Homo-oligomer: A and B are copies of this chain.
């Protein structure tokens, strides 16, 4: 069933049907009514591929999630993006990458021709040449927390170095004496972690202080949880965790060992991840990312690129906020 069937049924030309579909002014109200009624009766759905092909905009933004469809942090970000897009009359479709470090060519083509612009989320195996391809096809693209810089692509992230600096400053000012550090990776393949660490160390050096003990949690709740004993034995009185997920694992472990937080050990996280299931536990102190501001800026920018051909500087870094909870 296509626009021609509808036209025949309604007794008009397909041009007129198309005009009705695109809300053109060039249709007499009664004609419009008649066509609309026919469409409804026949249950016709316009083929958006054909619409897009014919040169029209689709009002759809494509999101490529390089992390996991199942990640609470990016799930929240996707929600925010969808809301922002909706406000401006754009729909959103998603896809997730293979996670095999082969880039996201396949995902780009799945969406290409269907969406007006791209947003890439996260940093798992996103290749510069993928982004370049999109730029060369003249499509607006924005990168969210992705470690790729490319002329013509907008990029949004948080200033991890400044955040790490803020974290150390806070713990130092609170007067903690033996500050421990939980890394998200042992092999330094975690870019955000490296940056957070760089900022943290800078503040420590400025204060002439050293890390009392290092721990490693692979960014996971359970790995961190199982370090509880070791952390207690190390004798630290404060612990900075490169991600909230790890901080939560530790809070759980400490609770079971009946260690008073922050009295015996203070815990400071990083991310301000929204884990709704934790809402009733102790409120984590953490370095927060202004996610609403970041997604708002990004979507607005992307649509400006799309509608007005506006250009954006490659990377915009947002400042982190200190979120004072009950754990440090």
Contacts and interface: CB of A to CB of B under 8 A. Distances in A.
Nearest to A249: B280
B48 A50 contact: no
A114 to B, nearest CB: 5
Interface in A142-187: none
A132 interface: yes
Contact of A79 (B68, B86, B94, B107): B68
A96 interface: yes
B46 A49 contact: no
A277 B107 CA distance: 29
A50 B279 CA distance: 48
A78 B82 contact: no
19 contacts: A43-B137, A45-B109, A45-B133, A48-B110, A48-B112, A49-B49, A49-B53, A49-B114, A53-B53, A58-B110, A60-B110, A69-B79, A82-B96, A86-B98, A91-B95, A92-B95, A93-B94, A225-B280, A248-B277
Chain A at the B interface: mostly helix, strand, loop or mixed?
helix
Interface string A259-290: 00000000000000001111111000000000
Contact of A280 (B48, B82, B222): B222
A72 interface: yes
B279 A277 contact: no
Contacts of A52: 49
Contacts of A221: 276-277, 279-280
Interface in A186-245: 221-222, 225
Q: Which 5 A-B residue pairs are closest in the complex by CB-CB distance?
A: A49-B113, A49-B49, A70-B75, A47-B113, A94-B94
Nearest to A92: B95
Interface in A10-61: 43, 45-50, 52-53, 58, 60
Contacts of A279: 221-222
A252 to B, nearest CB: 6
Given A53-B53, A69-B75, A79-B70, A47 B95 contact: no
A46 B277 contact: no
A87 interface: no
Contacts of A276: 221
A312 interface: no
Interface in A82-107: 82, 86, 91-96, 98, 106-107
Contacts of A82: 69, 96
Given A95-B91, A277-B275, A45 B108 contact: yes
Given A70-B78, A72-B72, 10 more contacts: A43-B133, A45-B109, A46-B112, A68-B79, A69-B75, A69-B79, A93-B93, A221-B277, A222-B280, A277-B278
